[in-house]
């Protein structure tokens, strides 16, 4: 993770270093700060595209939650840098050619076109980022938000590219112009890859809905089978983007954890909770409906790990990837012991209880009825203290999936118990 973090910092800061190396004279400190903010803001925007969660090699080697967290942090960096950037310039104004100042050390352009693209980005970027943060509260459908997010990101890349090359002192340098153009092309190509190229390949491999079962209130198990009979190459615990009843090129695809095991055959199963939009229509899906699968993604896998045992802590539908892992360990006769802690609000929300009972899990419900005889409450520090042994804390692998509050509690507890972060794999529900 340290290597990835260093790589991201290099991507964000390298253009600034190259900019300062490209000239021999510098302007006053405030103007240089303004320029630095502009350079950092643009390079951070380009790096955001790498952290979209759709870069497969990155999602399989790095915590997807951390990836999306950096995606959001860089978004805030873009917002702050873009907002502050113009207020630091103190040079004199001049339009047209500036033969007396080829390095632009003394003047700031008043040419309309270079300023127009910068002003447009200055106005629109804050609105765009606020929309990304509050799209759910504003009532935007998931598909609408994805479309705006992709197209808006490309628009801002083009605006900032034009502003940087035409109005920037450093951006006009040949080597920097090549760098900015190349980075912008790669960023836009990444969107094209996610929304066009991958969909072309996806369209060539249709799947079909083969089973639909309501496993618990508002929880459904959807089974799909590849029409060509060729299985998806994935590891237990990963997730995929699923499209059901829509075109392969539709924005109506959603990320769900795969609850089946790779060794169980070529079919896939997804445990899905009704949360709105697409997931509220589970009861309307019919057998034989065409589906498409884009994946796999994610790092929540235990294959190849050397820890002597695995502790799985799941909240609600966070049991989905755990089911895949448990089933794969059983099918491959993996000797590692398993401890499962599984929390829900009510006892009737527990899925696959008969199957899970075979590994003697710890069930926890926060709103028990009179027929409940297991643990009550939430997955908190006291429950973890009572459930985990010193040996498990010292050497076992921890796999976590559930709502953010539960994960914050568990991760904080494990950190306090000095469990090294390399032994903690976690995944939150919210991808948006």
Tell me the sheet residues that pair with 311: 339, 398
The total number of residues shown for the chain amounts to 432
361-420 tens-digit pLDDT: 999 999 998 889 889 999 999 999 999 999 999 999 999 999 889 999 999 999 999 999
More confident residue, 157 or 111: 157
Quick one: 354 exposed, middle or buried, by C-beta within 10 A (0-12, 13-18, 19+)?
exposed
Q: What is the mean pLDDT of residues 223-229?
A: 93
Q: What is the pLDDT of residue 10?
A: 87
DSSP 339: E
- Check if the beta carbon of residue 187 is closer than 8 Å to that of residue 49: yes
Residue 194 clears pLDDT 90, i.e. is over it: no
Q: What is the pLDDT of residue 94?
A: 45
Q: What is the pLDDT of residue 267?
A: 95
Give the pair of three-digit tokens for residue 102: 């080829």
Tell me the domain boundaries of the chain.
2-202, 207-297, 310-428
Q: What is the pLDDT of residue 100?
A: 46
Tell me the sheet residues that pair with 94: 109
Does domain 2-202 bear CATH number 2.60.40? Answer: no
Residue 92 clears pLDDT 80, i.e. is over it: no
Do 2-202 and 207-297 agree at the fold level?
no
Q: Which class would CATH give 207-297?
A: mainly beta
Give the pair of three-digit tokens for residue 402: 């559930």
Q: What is the pLDDT of residue 291?
A: 95
pLDDT tier for residue 430 given thresholds of 50, 70 and 90: low
Q: How far is CA 225 from CA 41, 91, 128, 315, 365, in A?
A: 45, 65, 39, 28, 34
pTM for the full model? 0.78
Tell me the sheet residues that pair with 402: 428
* Greatest extent of the chain over all pairs of C-alpha atoms, in Å: 86
Q: What is the mean pLDDT of residues 301-313?
A: 94
CATH of region 310-428, choose from 3.40.50.300, 3.40.50.80, 1.20.140.10, 1.25.10.10 = 3.40.50.80
């Amino acid at each position: 993770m340290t290597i990835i973090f260093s790589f991201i910092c290099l991507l964000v800061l390298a253009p600034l270093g190259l900019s300062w190396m490209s000239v021999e004279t510098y302007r006053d400190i405030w103007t240089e700060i303004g320029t630095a903010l502009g350079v950092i803001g643009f390079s951070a925007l380009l790096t955001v595209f790498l952290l979209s969660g759709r870069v497969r090699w990155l999602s399989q080697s790095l915590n997807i939650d951390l990836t999306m967290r950096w995606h959001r942090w860089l978004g805030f960096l873009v917002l702050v840098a873009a907002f502050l950037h113009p207020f630091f310039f103190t040079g004199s104004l001049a339009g047209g050619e500036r033969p007396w100042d080829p390095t632009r050390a003394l003047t700031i352009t008043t040419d309309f076109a270079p300023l127009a693209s910068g002003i447009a980005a200055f106005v629109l970027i804050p609105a765009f980022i606020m929309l990304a943060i509050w799209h759910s509260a504003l009532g935007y459908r998931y598909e609408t938000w994805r479309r705006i997010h992709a197209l808006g990101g490309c628009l801002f890349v083009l605006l900032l590219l034009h502003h940087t090359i035409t109005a920037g002192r450093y951006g006009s340098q040949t080597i920097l112009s090549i760098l900015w153009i190349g980075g912008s092309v790669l960023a836009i190509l990444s969107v094209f890859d996610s929304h066009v190229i991958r969909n072309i390949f996806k369209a060539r491999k249709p799947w079909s809905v083969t089973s639909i079962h309501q496993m618990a209130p508002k929880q459904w198990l959807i089974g799909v089978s590849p029409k060509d009979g060729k299985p998806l190459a994935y590891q237990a615990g990963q997730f995929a983007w699923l499209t059901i009843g829509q075109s392969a090129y539709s924005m109506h695809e959603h990320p769900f954890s795969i609850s089946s095991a790779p060794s169980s055959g070529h079919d896939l199963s997804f445990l899905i909770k009704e949360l709105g939009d697409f997931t509220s229509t589970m009861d309307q899906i019919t057998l034989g409906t065409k589906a498409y699968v884009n994946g796999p993604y994610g790092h929540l896998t235990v294959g190849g790990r050397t820890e002597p045992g695995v502790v799985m802590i799941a909240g609600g539908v966070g049991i989905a990837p755990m089911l895949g892992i448990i089933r794969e360990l059983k099918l491959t006769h993996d000797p590692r012991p398993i401890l499962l802690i599984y929390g829900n609000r009510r006892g009737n929300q527990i899925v696959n209880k008969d199957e899970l009972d075979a590994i003697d899990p710890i069930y926890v419900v926060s709103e028990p009825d009179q027929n409940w005889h297991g643990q009550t409450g939430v997955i908190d520090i006291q429950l973890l203290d009572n459930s985990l042994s010193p040996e498990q804390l010292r050497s076992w692998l921890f796999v976590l999936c559930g709502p953010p509050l539960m994960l914050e509690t568990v991760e904080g507890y494990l950190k306090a118990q000095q469990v090294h972060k390399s032994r903690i794999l976690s995944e939150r529900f919210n991808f948006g």
